[in-house]
Amino acid sequence: MLSPNPVSLLCALLLCLPLAIVFTSTGTTNLKPKATIAGILGGNPRGNFLFVGSGGTHTSREAKNSEEDKFVIPLPEDDEALFRVAAHAKAKPVSPRKIAFVFLTTTPLPFAPFWESYFNGTPKNLFNIYIHADPNFSYDPPFTGVFSDRVIYSKHTERYSPTLISAARRLLAHALIKDSSNYMFVLLSASCIPLHSFRFTYNTLVNSRKSFIEILNNEIGSYDRWAARGPDVMLPEVRLEDFRIGSQFWALTRKHAKLVVADRTLWSKFGLPCVRWDTCYPEENYFPTLLSMWDARGCVPATLTHVDWRDRNDGHPRTYNASEVGPELIESMRRQRPRYGDDGSNGSDWYTSTSGRWNDPFLFARKFSPDALEPLMRIANDVIFRD
Ligand SMILES: *[C@@H]1O[C@H](CO)[C@@H](O)[C@H](O)[C@H]1NC(C)=O
Ligand SMILES: *[C@@H]1O[C@H](CO)[C@@H](O)[C@H](O)[C@H]1NC(C)=O
Ligand SMILES: *[C@@H]1O[C@H](CO)[C@@H](O)[C@H](O)[C@H]1NC(C)=O
C-alpha cells in the first residue's frame, strides 16, 4: 500500500478547495467547507455530500460523468433520483469490508451508551452508522458520539404504510453511495441491542456471501396480507405463490442492497396504500418477497435478530424491561437458533452459510425498554461483549 505523502495531500487539498466551497455554497445543506474537505480526504464523507473520484478505478461509464461528479455533489432528496444513483453504486466492495449499521428510528437512541461501548476500540474503518430519523419527531438528547452527524435526509414514516420500506431503502441508498467498502447492511431499531462483541459480529457477517433475511412461505394470514391493497391488486407482478413474510430486521449483502434500491417492479405494487390496515405490514413482505423471487439462493432465510412473539397478538413483540435483563436472558438468547424459512426445509443449499448449516447465531435482539440500559451496561463487558 502506498501512503500519500504530505506534499501530495496538500496539493489535493488546494485543488479541491475552490470546488468544495462552490458546492458547499450552492448546495441545499449548510455543511461547512471544513466538513466537506474532511470528507474528501477521508473518503468517508458525512452529511449529504458524495465523493466519487477515487482515482484510477472508474468504469468507462463513470469516466464519462461530468467534472463535478468527480468531486462533491449533494445526494438527491427525491427518492427516485436517490435510488437511481444508488443503483449505480460500485458493486464490488472495497477492502477492508465494512458493516453498515442502519438505524430506523422515531426516538433518540436509548441504548446509545451501550452501542458506544460496543464500538469502543473498534477500528473506524470496519463500520459505518447511518440513521433515518423521522423529522416529525424531536430528538432530545440529540445523537452524539458515534451517532453524531450520521442522520441521513429522512422523511415521515408511519406503521401500516409503505413509508417504512422507503425509509429502509433510503438508508441502503445512502450507505451504498457514501462508502463503497460497506459490504453488509444491518437494519436496526432504537430498541435493538447487540448480543455479541463487535468482533464476533463482524466476522460472522463479513465472511458470509449470503444475506440473512427471514423468508417464510404459507404463513397463516398470507392471503390477507397479499390482498391488503385490494383483491388481485398485486397481480401480475407479485403472485400469491411468490408472496413471502419475514422480519424486517435483515442483514443484506452489498449485492442485495443494490437489488433493493434498483427495484421498480415490486415497488410499483408494494408502494400502494393498503385498503385494510389490520393486515398491512408492507415492510415485512416487500424485502422477503423481493429477495425470494430474485435471488433466493443468495439468502440464508432467517433473521439474526432475536425476537419473542409468544403470547402477543397486538402486533408488538415482547419488550424486556430492566428487571428481566441479566446474564441468563442474554445467554438464553445466544443458545437459541433462528427459525429458517419453510421453502428450504427440503435441505437445499440455502442453508449453507459460512457459520455452519442450521447453526447461525443470533447477533442482535429486540425489543428492550429504555430502562434496560443500566442492567445492560452492567453486564456488557463480562457477558455480552465476551465471546
Ligand atoms: C408529519 O409530517 C408530514 C409531512 O412532513 C405531515 O403531513 C404530517 O401531518 C405530520 N404528522 C404528524 C403526526 O405530525
Ligand atoms: C417487567 O416485566 C415483567 C414480565 O413481563 C413484569 O412482570 C414486570 O411487572 C415488569 N416490570 C416493570 C417495572 O414494568
Ligand atoms: C424444495 O423441493 C421442491 C420440490 O422438490 C422444489 O420445487 C423446491 O425448489 C425446493 N426448494 C428449494 C429452496 O430448493
Nearest CA to ligand 1 atom 12: 136
Nearest CA to ligand 3 atom 7: 343
Instruction: Show the ligand 1 pocket: residues with CB < 6 angstroms.
Output: 136, 156
Q: Give me ligand 1 centre to Cα 61, in Å.
A: 40
Going along 141-230, which residue ranges are E strands?
A: 182-189, 193-194, 211-212
Nearest CA to ligand 1 atom 14: 136
Same structural domain for residues 232 and 301?
yes
Q: Give me ligand 2 centre to Cα 324, in Å.
A: 7
- Residue 344 is predicted with a pLDDT of 52
C-alpha cell at 127: 463500520
- Residue 305 is predicted with a pLDDT of 98
Residue 355 lies in a domain: yes
Q: Is the dihedral of CA 359, 360, 364, 365 positive or negative?
A: negative
Q: Is the dihedral of CA 324, 247, 184, 210 positive or negative?
A: positive
Residue 169: enclosing H or E segment and its boundaries? helix 163-178
Same structural domain for residues 342 and 364?
yes
Residue 277 lies in a domain: yes
Nearest CA to ligand 1 atom 7: 156
Q: Give me ligand 3 centre to Cα 206, in Å.
A: 28
Same structural domain for residues 23 and 167?
no
Residue 58 lies in a domain: no
Residue 87 lies in a domain: yes
Q: How many distinct structural domains can be found in the chain?
A: 2
Same structural domain for residues 238 and 120?
yes
Q: Give me ligand 2 centre to Cα 321, in Å.
A: 6
- Residue 358 is predicted with a pLDDT of 66
With H, G, I as helix, E, B as strand and everything else as coil, classify residue 317. coil
Q: Would you state the torsion angle of the CA atoms of residues 150, 152, 155, 161, taken in this order, to the nearest 10 degrees?
A: -80
Residue 375 lies in a domain: yes
C-alpha–C-alpha distance, residues 383 and 386, integer Å: 5
Nearest CA to ligand 3 atom 2: 346
Query: At what angle are helices 33-42 and 6-26 packed, to 10 degrees?
Result: 130
Residue 82 lies in a domain: yes
Contact assessment for residue 268 and residue 165, using Cβ atoms and an 8 Å cutoff: no
C-alpha–C-alpha distance, residues 70 and 50, integer Å: 9
Residue whose C-alpha is closest to residue 342's, from 275, 258, 246: 246
Residue 84: enclosing H or E segment and its boundaries? helix 79-87
Residue 365 lies in a domain: yes
Same structural domain for residues 91 and 41?
no
Contact assessment for residue 249 and residue 188, using Cβ atoms and an 8 Å cutoff: yes
Could you tell me the residue range of the domain that residue 374 belongs to? Answer: 75-384
Nearest CA to ligand 1 atom 9: 136
Query: For the chain (length 387 residues), average pLDDT per consecutive 10?
Result: 43 40 34 31 36 34 33 82 97 96 98 98 95 97 96 97 98 97 98 98 94 91 96 96 96 98 98 95 97 91 94 82 98 93 53 60 97 98 95
Q: Give me ligand 1 centre to Cα 156, in Å.
A: 7
Position 310, amino acid? R
Please, which residues bridge with residue 324 across strands? none
Same structural domain for residues 47 and 89?
no
Residue 112 lies in a domain: yes
Instruction: Show the ligand 3 pocket: residues with CB < 6 angstroms.
Output: 343-344, 346, 348, 350
Going along the chain, which residue ranges are E strands?
A: 49-51, 72-74, 98-105, 127-133, 182-189, 193-194, 211-212, 251-253, 299-300, 305-306, 364-365
Residue whose C-alpha is closest to residue 317's, from 327, 333, 306: 306
Same structural domain for residues 34 and 145?
no
C-alpha–C-alpha distance, residues 269 and 14, integer Å: 49
C-alpha cell at 154: 429522512
Nearest CA to ligand 2 atom 5: 320
Same structural domain for residues 28 and 135?
no
- Residue 13 is predicted with a pLDDT of 41
Q: Give me ligand 3 centre to Cα 345, in Å.
A: 8
- Nearest ligand to the CA of 297 is 3
Cα of 284 vs its chain's centroid, Å: 15
- Residue 2 is predicted with a pLDDT of 39
Same structural domain for residues 36 and 147?
no
Position 191, amino acid? S
Q: Does residue 308's CB lie within 6 angstroms of at least one atom of ligand 2?
A: no
Q: What is the pTM of this model?
A: 0.80
Contact assessment for residue 151 and residue 131, using Cβ atoms and an 8 Å cutoff: yes
- Residue 109 is predicted with a pLDDT of 98
Q: Does residue 323's CB lie within 6 angstroms of at least one atom of ligand 2?
A: yes
Contact assessment for residue 210 and residue 300, using Cβ atoms and an 8 Å cutoff: yes
Q: Would you state the torsion angle of the CA atoms of residues 174, 179, 180, 183, taken in this order, to the nearest 10 degrees?
A: -80
Residue whose C-alpha is closest to residue 300's, from 310, 292, 311, 290: 292
Same structural domain for residues 356 and 266?
yes
Place of cell 438508508: 171
Residue 115: enclosing H or E segment and its boundaries? helix 112-119
Q: What is the largest CA-CA distance in the chain?
A: 66
Same structural domain for residues 27 and 170?
no
**Ligand 2 probe mutation, 308, 321, 368, 373, most atoms within 8 A of CB:** 321
Nearest CA to ligand 2 atom 1: 321
Same structural domain for residues 150 and 70?
no
Q: Give me ligand 2 centre to Cα 329, in Å.
A: 14
